[in-house]
């Protein structure tokens, strides 16, 4: 078969309009006109096409695609067609029109349907993982142009695709396309429902839902009556799950006749209050999905939440994230949010959705900042204890953490409140939020003045001790410590413990960094007393470092050079091994050929017949400043930091 990407137009004979349409299709998905080759004559003229000034013009995209599909069909010859040739031709058309409003591939597959069913072709190929999405896309492309299909073929395709697209957006898009097709053919939708009800349901719930909702679009009374009849008479749990879900979808339809709503609500309420776990879970999901539309299920859902039902908590959390705009507008978002505090890590998708929803509220101009922060603090206290890692909150609520970082004043307020609060959970979460933040340039971190202006000296000392216990990065601690000088009445409230904080604590562990930061702040300080104090602390740190440097070094404590070399070689070997293992998992490493050059200084890549320009290697290193106490006495430092983290507020 001739490749469609290299269509040659001989000028010594008439040119088919379909061939030019295929050229247009391959070149640009939206173009409708093309130059006719010199000396050629278009024959025949297809409907919707015209010739003017040496150009072939199509009136609509549909006309162009119809001509292109007809030309591909003519190229296949007379039926019966080779199935692989049909599939390849359709795929070649489809890959050039992804996202187009009209699909030549779909028109072509509809034209060959009497001899080669796209549903059967897709069913035989969808079992291969590499062909799953191509098969689904080609079926979706053809559905708008198919007038009729074999319902048994639809069922067979759905049975084949289900294992490969469970919980995948591609599967949802496929069933949505099927539902649109059934909407235009309500008789087929009703027949599909009845056919599925006479067979084992297995995993055909999505197909049954698509067909039933299409039937509902044309005849609400009949479809609802049949749904309620099936739900009442059947004893199959798996069918009750599906009917409950479909009832929820019907209740969400704006076109629903109001008189039908109570009958549809009844089976959902029955499931929520039942004892069987699986039907109850289905009822909870159905009720939560329309939480923003109906208040009928509020009492039943609240009862399940009060009982600690994690399925109910997860479903309500998902409803809050999916319909946050409607719930906020109705004024009930924050009625339900506190009830989701018990949501744990077993419901990652619900937590991720809630994280994103809350992150949209964490903006200075938002009126919902405080209730959102109240929920986050409550979740931290409920789930993070004193043994939790500092990064756990920042990783679990990463969108909220990033939203706070994007607004430094808001981050300062939250950080200060959580550090000042009792218990270790909030302080650990606050430390995790800023753990990998830089404090260079405009990213300085400071305590919030509005929170601390009314704090007592005991509160400030408690805050500083917690900071020293939970943070390690010297620049962060110095930025926070020096921000205390901006508080109201800082001379009376902060200066009494400033020397201890900067010299005996931070300065002892990081003398050079602390000295530089103090000299920089002293140069900018307007208050003479504060400037003098900062300068004296910096001078004292300089004197301490000079005294240490002047001490003689004991040769007995120096690591022998041979041992240092062996250690460096062993470390380099271990690093190279770990890098090689990591590269094996790289997609890039699987696509290119790697050539290893011993002791080389440049690298290059070879792909196919081409070679890239060589890249020169450059050495680089990353260093971290270790606290001096950690080097001299790691056990003692761990005990000291534990004391600082568990310090109690002095109420006297």
Tell me: the pLDDT tens digits for 292-305?
999 999 999 999 99
183 pLDDT higher than 80: yes
Work out the mean pLDDT of the chain and round it to a whole number: 87
- The CA distance from 430 to 206, in Å, is 44
- The CA distance from 397 to 391, in Å, is 10
Asked if 430 and 418 touch (Cβ cutoff 8 Å), the reply is yes
Nearby residues of 581 by Cβ (< 8 Å), 6 or more positions away: none
Tell me: the pLDDT tens digits for 370-385?
999 999 999 999 988 7
**Phi/psi of residue 15, nearest 5 degrees:** -105, 130
Q: Which residue has the tokens 């307007």?
A: 526
Burial (CB count <10 Å: 0-12, 13-18, 19+), residue 157: buried
Question: Mean pLDDT across the stretch 78-103?
Answer: 89
Question: How many Cβ atoms are within 10 Å of 583's Cβ, its own excluded?
Answer: 12
104 pLDDT higher than 60: yes
- The CA distance from 346 to 200, in Å, is 31
Nearby residues of 107 by Cβ (< 8 Å), 6 or more positions away: 65, 66, 69, 145
211 pLDDT higher than 70: yes
* % of the chain at pLDDT higher than 70: 90
Helix, strand, coil distribution of the chain in percent, nearest 5: 65, 5, 30
Can you say whether the dihedral through the CA atoms of 494, 496, 499, 501 is positive or negative? negative
**Phi/psi of residue 51, nearest 5 degrees:** -110, 130
- 133-147, 460-474, 501-515, 547-561: least confidently modelled range: 547-561
Query: Buried b / exposed e across 516-534, counting CB within 10 Å, b at 16+?
Result: ebbbebbeebeeeebeebb
- The CA distance from 50 to 38, in Å, is 17
Tell me: the pLDDT tens digits for 562-597?
888 888 889 888 888 887 777 776 666 666 666 665
Tell me: the pLDDT tens digits for 133-168?
889 999 999 999 999 999 999 999 998 888 777 767
- How sure is the predictor about 330, in pLDDT bands with cuts at 50, 70 and 90? very high
Question: Mean pLDDT across the stretch 97-101?
Answer: 84
Question: Mean pLDDT across the stretch 413-421?
Answer: 95
Burial (CB count <10 Å: 0-12, 13-18, 19+), residue 181: buried
pLDDT at 8 (0 to 100): 46
* % of the chain at pLDDT higher than 90: 56
First to last CA, the chain: 92
Question: SS3 sequence, 606-626?
Answer: EECCEECCCEECCCCCCCCCC
pLDDT at 171 (0 to 100): 78
- The CA distance from 26 to 497, in Å, is 75
284 pLDDT higher than 90: yes
Nearest in space to 56 (alpha carbons), one of 67, 95, 107, 90: 67
**Phi/psi of residue 42, nearest 5 degrees:** -75, 125
Tell me: the pLDDT tens digits for 235-275?
888 888 899 999 999 999 999 999 999 999 999 999 999 88
How far is residue 394 CA from its own chain's centroid? 15
- How sure is the predictor about 14, in pLDDT bands with cuts at 50, 70 and 90? low
Task: Give Dmax over CA atoms of the chain in angstroms.
Answer: 104
- How sure is the predictor about 119, in pLDDT bands with cuts at 50, 70 and 90? very high
Question: Mean pLDDT across the stretch 182-202?
Answer: 90
For helices 205-218 and 237-252, what crossing angle results, to 10°? 40
Cα 254–Cα 257–Cα 259 angle in degrees, nearest 5: 135
pTM above 0.85, yes or no: no
pLDDT top residue among 439 and 374: 374
Question: Mean pLDDT across the stretch 613-626?
Answer: 72
């Amino acid at each position: 078969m001739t490749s469609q990407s290299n269509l040659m137009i001989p000028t010594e004979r008439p040119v088919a309009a379909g061939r030019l349409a295929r050229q247009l299709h391959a070149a640009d998905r939206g173009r409708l006109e093309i130059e006719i080759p010199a000396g050629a004559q278009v024959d025949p003229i297809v409907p919707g096409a015209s010739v003017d000034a040496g150009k072939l013009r199509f009136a609509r995209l549909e006309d162009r695609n119809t001509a292109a599909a007809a030309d591909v069909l003519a190229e296949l010859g007379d039926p019966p067609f080779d199935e692989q040739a049909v599939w390849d031709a359709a795929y070649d058309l489809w890959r050039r029109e992804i996202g187009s409003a009209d699909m030549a591939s779909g028109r072509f597959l509809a034209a060959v349907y009497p001899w080669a069913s796209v549903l059967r072709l897709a069913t035989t190929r969808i079992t291969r993982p590499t062909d799953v999405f191509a098969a689904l896309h080609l079926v979706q492309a053809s559905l708008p142009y198919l007038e009729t299909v074999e319902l048994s073929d639809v069922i067979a395709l759905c049975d084949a695709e289900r294992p490969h697209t469970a919980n995948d957006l591609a599967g949802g898009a496929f069933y949505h396309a099927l539902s649109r097709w059934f909407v235009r053919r309500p008789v087929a939708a009703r027949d599909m429902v009845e056919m599925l009800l006479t067979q084992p349901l297995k995993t055909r719930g999505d197909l049954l839902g698509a067909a039933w909702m299409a039937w509902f679009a044309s005849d609400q009374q009949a479809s609802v009556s049949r749904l309620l009849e099936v739900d009442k008479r059947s004893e199959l749990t798996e069918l009750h799950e599906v009917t409950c879900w479909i009832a929820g979808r019907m209740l969400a339809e704006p076109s629903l006749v109001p008189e039908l709503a109570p009958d549809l609500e009844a089976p959902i309420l029955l499931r929520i209050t039942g004892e069987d776990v699986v039907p109850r879970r289905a009822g909870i999901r159905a009720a939560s999905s329309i939480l923003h539309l109906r208040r009928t299920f509020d009492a039943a859902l609240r009862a399940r939440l009060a009982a600690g039902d994690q399925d109910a908590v997860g479903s309500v959390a998902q409803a809050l994230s999916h319909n946050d705009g409607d719930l906020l507008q109705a004024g009930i978002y924050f009625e339900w949010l506190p009830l989701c505090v018990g949501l744990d890590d077993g419901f990652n998708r619900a937590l991720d959705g809630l994280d994103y929803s809350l992150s949209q509220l964490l903006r200075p101009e938002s009126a919902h900042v405080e209730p959102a922060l109240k929920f986050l603090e409550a979740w931290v206290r409920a789930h993070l204890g004193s043994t939790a890692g500092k990064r756990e909150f920042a990783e679990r609520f990463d969108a909220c953490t990033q939203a706070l970082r994007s607004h430094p004043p808001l981050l300062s307020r939250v950080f200060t409140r959580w550090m000042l609060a009792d218990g270790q959970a909030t302080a650990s979460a606050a430390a995790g939020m800023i753990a990998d933040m830089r404090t260079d340039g405009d990213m300085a971190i400071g305590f919030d003045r509005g929170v601390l202006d009314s704090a007592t000296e005991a509160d400030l000392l408690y805050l500083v001790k917690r900071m020293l216990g939970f943070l390690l990065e010297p620049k962060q601690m110095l930025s926070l410590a020096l921000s205390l000088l901006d508080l109201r009445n800082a001379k009376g409230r902060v200066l009494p413990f400033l020397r201890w904080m900067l010299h005996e604590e931070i300065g002892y562990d990081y003398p050079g960094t602390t000295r530089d930061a103090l000299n920089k702040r002293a140069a900018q300080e307007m208050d003479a007393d504060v400037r003098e104090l900062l300068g004296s602390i910096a001078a004292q740190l300089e004197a301490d470092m000079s005294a240490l440097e002047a001490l003689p070094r004991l040769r007995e404590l120096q690591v022998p050079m041979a041992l240092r070399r062996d250690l460096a070689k062993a470390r380099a070997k271990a690093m190279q091994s770990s890098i090689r293992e990591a590269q094996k998992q790289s997609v890039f490493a699987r696509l290119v050929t790697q050539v290893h050059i011993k002791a080389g200084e440049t690298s290059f890549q070879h792909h196919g017949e081409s070679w890239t320009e060589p890249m020169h290697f450059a050495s680089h290193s990353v260093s971290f400043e270790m606290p001096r106490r950690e080097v001299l006495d790691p056990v003692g430092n761990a005990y000291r930091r534990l004391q600082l983290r568990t310090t109690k507020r002095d109420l006297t």
